Structure 1
Amino acid sequence: MIKAALFDLDGVVFETESQYTVFWGTIGKEYHPELPDFAHRIKGQTLVQIYDKYFSSEATFAHIEGYTDPKTEQAKITARLDAFERNMSYPYIAGFENFVKDLRAHGVKCAVVTSSNMVKMRNVYEQHPEFKSYFERVLTSEDFAKSKPDPDCYLKGAACFGVKPEECVGLEDSFNGLKAVRSSGAFTLGLATTNPIDAIQPYCDYVINDYQNFTFAELKQIVDSYCALRK
């Protein structure tokens, strides 16, 4: 039985991953030219985790003119990211609004489980005043002790509704996110919005391209069939 649906944000609710690829691709070229796939490596991780892993070593900034210390350089990147997100567009993934309304009409609790922070979410709310009406809870990076691929965020998402992870569907597009859902024990529904179907298939229980013509009834049938095979 599906009691809750836990949605990642970028690439799952909003078609924004291509915009972030441009931003982090630029940052990667400046700071980590040795990592041409930098923009894809960091998907699904919180800003704190990105900084800890890629922007805490003095060696990272050796070629940066005017460099003083890691914290100052991190603050510069944060300021650039905040400015970028203020000017981003947040178009919904095709069919999302009808799908989430259908879930809620059938009594499914819905939450956002995102590595984004509250600063970014305020930009979302400004562009989409209706956004909060689609979800009972919005959990952000401030709510989690660990970042994806750790399942912490999805375990907390299930807990906030008082349900077991096995009674949830987790919706993700990134490799780190998909690994987090699967590790939590929730049904892993992948969206091929950021990566090709064949690339994410091994990390998913089922994959869709988007939500067009996708309904609660179809999802329930898919999950029920999956559970029956596992018995």
Structure 2
Amino acid sequence: MKDFKAVIFDMDGVIFDTEKLYLDCCVEIGEKYELEHVEEACFRCIGITSEASARIMYEVFGDDFPLDSFRGEVDELFRARFDERLPIKPGVRELLTYLKGEGYKVAIASSTKKESVKKELAQAKFLDFFDEIICGDMVERSKPNPDIFLKAAECLGVAPDSCIVIEDSYNGIRAASAAGMFSFMVPDMLKPDDEMRSKASVILDSLMDVKEYMRHKCQKSNCVPACRKSSLTL
């Protein structure tokens, strides 16, 4: 059995319940711009960097699409509604407390810029739980490439196959699989399809389920992928 030493979290959609809220803001501003298919386009941007999502938006809406203005208005609307503190996914604090108590190293691997990640974690009083924060602007290639998870493992001083990843997005699970890491998929907006069921080590409905799974099936020394339970940034 593999000796697991570290747990790497995605942030949006895993720690913070932001993706549906941000998508709602995109749709609202999209109506102002009289855009068609804005929800579908923004949906494709879940779990990737702003550079990668820009390519999608220009592909859908054309090279003359005023992306900077659109992003600015979406961000302004989102901040007006949620800037004081982002809504937290159930079970986050309990899982983080359990992991630190068991001696795991813990990291964030998020496509969001580091300044924003640190601010949001600090507001939620989660910052001290994390040994490392790795963000999309610290690696060359975004998810689904494995770079961000491999960088997290390197910074933690842990071999990739000794890491567990917790993700909600398709690209995040693809990246974890490409990195050779054990992964929990906790679906948020994107429900697991056949590809995700083949690439994710375990699929669970909530972070509380992850905690219970790790308590009962993941000793500090091993983790058994015994059963599967199915249920954005611009």
Superposition TM-score, scaled by structure 1 size = 0.81
**Aligned to 1:25, which of 24, 27, 31?**
27
1:54 positional shift:
2.6
Structure 2 residue 225 is the aligned partner of structure 1 residue 226:
yes
Q: CA, structure 1 residues 157+126, in 2 after alignment: closer, same or farther (shift >3 Å)?
A: closer
**Aligned to 1:8, which of 3, 6, 10?**
10
Counterpart-to-counterpart distance in 1, 2:217 and 2:47: 24
- Partner deviation per Cα, 1:46-78 (whole Å, 9 max, x = no partner): 1111113433799343xxxxxxxx6xx333133
* Structure of greater relative contact order (alpha carbons < 8 Å, 6+ residues apart): 2
Instruction: Give the equivalent residue in structure 1 for 2:44.
Output: 41
Q: CA, structure 1 residues 93+141, in 2 after alignment: closer, same or farther (shift >3 Å)?
A: same
CA contact (8 A) 2:27 2:38 kept: no
SS of 1:160's equivalent? helix
1:121 positional shift:
2.5
What residue ranges of structure 2 are gaps of 5+ in the alignment?
227-234
Name the stretch that deviates more: 85-94 or 164-173.
Answer: 85-94
Q: CA, structure 1 residues 125+95, in 2 after alignment: closer, same or farther (shift >3 Å)?
A: closer
CA contact (8 A) 1:6 1:169 kept: yes
1:28 positional shift:
5.7
Instruction: Give the equivalent residue in structure 2 for 1:64.
Output: none
Instruction: Give the equivalent residue in structure 2 for 1:95.
Output: 91
Instruction: Give the equivalent residue in structure 1 for 2:177.
Output: 182
Q: Which amino acid aligns with 1:48?
A: E
Q: CA, structure 1 residues 132+122, in 2 after alignment: closer, same or farther (shift >3 Å)?
A: closer
1:84 positional shift:
3.5
Q: CA, structure 1 residues 146+198, in 2 after alignment: closer, same or farther (shift >3 Å)?
A: closer
RMSD: 2.8
1:208 positional shift:
1.3
SS of 2:133's equivalent? strand
**Aligned to 1:51, which of 41, 51, 54?**
54
- Partner deviation per Cα, 1:163-221 (whole Å, 9 max, x = no partner): 11110011110111111111110001100222335564333110111122624423515
SS of 1:226's equivalent? coil
Name the stretch that deviates more: 203-212 or 169-178.
Answer: 203-212
CA contact (8 A) 1:45 1:147 kept: yes
CA contact (8 A) 1:85 1:120 kept: no
CA contact (8 A) 2:7 2:107 kept: yes
Instruction: Give the equivalent residue in structure 2 for 1:66.
Output: none
Name the stretch that deviates more: 161-170 or 79-88.
Answer: 79-88
Name the stretch that deviates more: 179-188 or 46-55.
Answer: 46-55
Counterpart-to-counterpart distance in 1, 2:46 and 2:34: 17
1:83 positional shift:
1.8
1:138 positional shift:
1.4
**Aligned to 1:203, which of 189, 199, 211?**
199
Instruction: Give the equivalent residue in structure 1 for 2:187.
Output: 192
**Aligned to 1:155, which of 150, 154, 160?**
150
What residue ranges of structure 1 are gaps of 5+ in the alignment?
62-69
Q: Which amino acid aligns with 1:204?
A: A
Provide the identity percentage.
Answer: 24
